[in-house]
Amino acid sequence: MDLMNRTVSRLALAAGLVFGAAATHAATPAELATKAGCAVCHQPAAKGLGPSYQEIAKKYKGQAGAPATMAERVRKGSVGVFGKVPMTPTPPARISDADLKTVIDWILKTP
């Protein structure tokens, strides 16, 4: 009986590790952007309602203050930066500051 209890305990521990790992999956920057609603207007390479991530990266390439500028435009919204269609503000309730930084860093590394 003791052997059976140890086997069941080990199986439970293994299952917990497997399912626990799945539950703690760190979202990719693309997943964070999609969850925040960015993908409604922005696509990786193709222009949609808004510019593609590639266009955004190209515009801000080499600009030291680009991450802060982009974060401010995301939070407050903007118009006229990439055309006439306004970008609505994205509040912290939709994407945290830390996740926004992750997404912006990812966009700026887009080839």
Binding residues for heme c: 38, 42, 87
3-state secondary structure of 24: coil
CA atoms within 13 A on the CB side of 39: 10
Which segments of the chain does DSSP mark as H helices, in order? 2-23, 29-36, 53-60, 66-76, 97-108
Q: Which residues are annotated as a binding site?
A: 38, 42, 87
- What backbone phi and psi angles, to 5 degrees, belong to 4? -65, -45
